[in-house]
Amino acid sequence: MSNQIERLINIVEERKEDLVSLLKRLIEYKTPAPPARNTKEAQQFIAEFLEEKGFSIDMWDVYPNDPNVVGVLKGKEPTLYNSLIINGHMDVAEVSEDEKWDVDPFVPIVKDDVIIGRGAADMKGGLAGALFAIQLLHEHGIRLPGDLILQSVIGEEVGEAGTLECCKKGYKADFAVVVDTSDLHIQGQGGVITGWITVKSDKTYHDATRRQMIHAGGKLFAASAIEKMTNIIHGLQDLERHWAVSKSYPGNPPGTNTINPAVIEGGRHAAFIADECRLWITVHYYPNETHEQIIKEIEEHILHVAHADPWLRENPPTFVWGGKSMIVDRGEIFPSLEVDPNHPGVKRLSQTHEHILSKEAIVDVSPTVTDGGWLGDAGIPTVIYGPGKLQHAHAVNEQLSIQELVEYTKVILAFIYEWCHSKKSELTVE
């Protein structure tokens, strides 16, 4: 590692208060999702911050008052040296009125060597560290040979894929780091998809006809959609248990691939037999699986379940999968992300982590999901690497260790420098 970057790493420690102040500034922007539509002021700050450091800025509304910001710092020799995307989301988890915080969630404080405030761990800490690294590179006149792209996106907390919109615009790099909560582990992830399963009758009946459809001799071929949905739920549970027995993935605890019956809606009112029932499910699947594969497995299994029931055979369930927003169309997709430990970017990040922190880098699988799957889906080798512990994300008195923030900032600073000073290899994406 060059003497130049070693000096900058030491400066991170010396300017710890400036780093903390930058994170406080980001937390003070109230960007919870839901309700969302509130990130414009914060994203304008990011855009101006990057523009001052020589980045060209692309800022556009994904939703009204919720813009993405992409800053591009062109390298001196971009055709020869590796390019890098640093990705993070500006939205934070919602704050309910009945949550008992010690302080206002958007008035950050430092206490017992941690920063407390909504978004400290998830994931304004990651953004602050990356921005501070960029600031130090700029202040010391360091020009990178490879391109550096910073993406500050919206909507991750509610399944609104701001990162997907960046991919659609054609932003690519040889490697990407999503600076989301990982406790400084280098991570891939499983995937998540939501779906709606609907059981519906093409006829409606008064509740007084129930005797005719459930007792001998009633001669009314009909059923309650709510009761028939229990067949579907039992079928999903059987499939979930089968997956737990038959599937596994290194780094994931057994049975991580789950099918959660999250919300059920149905019926008109008490004077009707329920003629429709809708079940909202959330499915977690492994890093080596796709949502298309998972959809196929679930639909095939549930249609077999339906075929075994006389009424469902004539009134089979229907399926609607995914969505663009949990608050707009009540659905989401987070693609899975596999990490290749032999990729030059992963190796370089691991080596940088180990050199600076004097401890072994841990390459594993996140128990949650991030926007990293969208970058991987676009063909960009990607990892999750950021400060903060998941037990603090979304929590009352959300917090981030200042020491971990400093350590992360040192690593991401050195990695930006090292990766963008390394020549393109055969394994990187052109």
**Known active-site residue 265:** no
The 3-state secondary structure of the chain, one letter per residue: CCHHHHHHHHHHHHCHHHHHHHHHHHHHCCCEECCCCCCHHHHHHHHHHHHHCCCEEEEEEEECCEEEEEEEECCCCCCCECCEEEEEECCEECCCCCCCCCCCCCCCEEECCEEECCCHHHHHHHHHHHHHHHHHHHHCCCCCCCCEEEEEECCHHHCCCHHHHHHHCCCCCCEEEECCCCCCCEEEECEEEEEEEEEECCCCCEHHHHHHHHCCCCCCCCCCHHHHHHHHHHHHHHHHHHHHHHCCCCCCCCCCCCEEEEEEEECCCCCECCCEEEEEEEEEECCCCCHHHHHHHHHHHHHHHHHCCHHHHHCCCEEEECCCCCCCCCCCEECCECCCCCCHHHHHHHHHHHHHHCCCCCEEEECCCCCHHHHHHCCCCEEECCCCCCCCCCCCCCEEEHHHHHHHHHHHHHHHHHHHCCECCCCCCC
- Active-site residue, selected from the candidate residues 66, 147, 156, 371: 156
**Known active-site residue 91:** yes
- Active-site residue, selected from the candidate residues 91, 157, 289, 418: 91
The residues annotated as belonging to the active site are: 91, 156
